[in-house]
Structure 1
Amino acid sequence: MADRGFPDQHTTTTTVTSTNTSVQTNIRFDSSYIRTLPGMLKVGQLVLNILGFICIIASNASHISRGSWFNTVAMGGFWFTGIVLALYLFHIVEKLYRIPWLKIEFVFCAIWTLFYLIAASLAAAFAPHSEAFGAAAFFGFVAMVLYGIDAYLKFKAVRAGEIAQGERVIVKSTSTAASPAY
């Protein structure tokens, strides 16, 4: 009777993974980034941030705490997103490719999704008293969706091992060896 604890045949699988990162370290302006999905998301976020900010500032109740919170979220998002967009447009992100840009952007976008949920909800609750708050709430909810989509895309990119700008090629080779039964 054969020993049930040991198989008749043994298979060994070896996987070798190599990564090749290709980046250009010169600073240059490249407007083609705006035509990519991440670029369009950033431009949309900038526009929605400024529109929501203007709506709150234009209202008579901009001084109340919910208006101040909305403007804090809008301006924080505007400045961070604008600076990151500029870094991408001038390929500074590619020059500094060792910085985990995708993780930084993922964390920011996830936090701003939550912040916009809170800020837009507070503005919507005050909408019966001020039409400007209702408009700001609309822009805030749309910005929340854009930041959420951006966070999801950044999460997928981080999981796939991508870099923010430039090119990373991951090559996997697998070899399998089987030993005969004795």
Structure 2
Amino acid sequence: MEGEMVDPGFPAHTATATAAPQPRPAGNIRFDPTYINFRNIPGMLKIAQIVFNLIGYICAAVSTFNSYSHANWFSFVSMTGFWVTGILLVLYMMHVLERFYMVPWLMLEFGYCALWCFFYLTAAVACATWGGVDSGAAAASFFGFVAMILYGADAFFKFKAWRSGDIAQGGQQVQMADPGMPSPGAY
């Protein structure tokens, strides 16, 4: 149409919203023995949990009444804790958790440690009731209570890390989609 005026006001502008960058750790799998050094509390807790799981299992297995329900429950709790904690230790030492950074590892580990803290409480109390008759059950009870404290401490640290927004392992490396674009909050 002739004679129609175009508004010379603002130029045509389309805003594109970009999502905030998500923290993403490096995802290469490698062996890293520094996870179990003396300065790394989670690594030392896992090593201690594995040791006390194994010693407690041996005490329950050699007890006089090892076929009774209290010893069977203690054996189940200690051996399941031994294997799950051992697998988690290997996953941390091999940096596999960095590969699957979208999985809420800290929340899952918090749930596992809290549950095993409760299971060890029940198993250690069940063995303690037989402690006056059976020295193996008394020893298993002692190691069960220590393992309960270790799992409780691990649950506490996992909960604190989860609430503060930490990731399970690795440094946070932020990758922007386009480095020339300003951040979404810049306008």
* TM class, shorter-length: 0.7 to 0.9
Instruction: Could you tell me which runs of 5 or more consecutive residues in structure 1 were left unpaired when the two chains were aligned.
Output: 1-17, 171-182
Identity %: 48
- 1:79 partnered with 2:79: no
Maintained 8 Å contact 1:117/1:141: yes
| Deviation (angstroms), 1:20 | 5.5
SS of the residue corresponding to residue 29 of structure 1 reads coil
- 1:120 partnered with 2:119: no
- 1:58 partnered with 2:66: no
- 1:33 partnered with 2:35: yes
Q: 2:158 & 2:172 partners in 1: Cα distance?
A: 15
2:112 maps to a residue whose letter is F
**Total equivalences in the alignment:** 154
Maintained 8 Å contact 1:102/1:163: yes
1:128 maps to a residue whose letter is G
User: CA deviation digits over 1:54-77, x for unaligned, max 9?
Assistant: 001111211000000000100111
TM-score when scaled to structure 1? 0.81
Instruction: Indicate the residue corresponding to 1:42 in structure 2.
Output: 46
TM-score when scaled to structure 2? 0.79
User: CA deviation digits over 1:59-97, x for unaligned, max 9?
Assistant: 121100000000010011111100010000000011111
1:96 maps to a residue whose letter is F
Q: 2:149 & 2:21 partners in 1: Cα distance?
A: 34
Q: Which has the larger radius of gyration?
A: 2
SS of the residue corresponding to residue 167 of structure 1 reads coil
| Bigger strand share | 1
Instruction: Indicate the residue corresponding to 2:104 in structure 1.
Output: 100
- 1:110 partnered with 2:121: no
Match 1:142 to one of 115, 139, 146: 146
SS of the residue corresponding to residue 133 of structure 1 reads helix
Instruction: Could you tell me which runs of 5 or more consecutive residues in structure 2 were left unpaired when the two chains were aligned.
Output: 1-19, 175-187
Tell which has more relative contact order, 1 or 2 (C-alpha 8 A, sep 6+).
1
Match 2:25 to one of 20, 23, 26: 23
2:34 maps to a residue whose letter is S
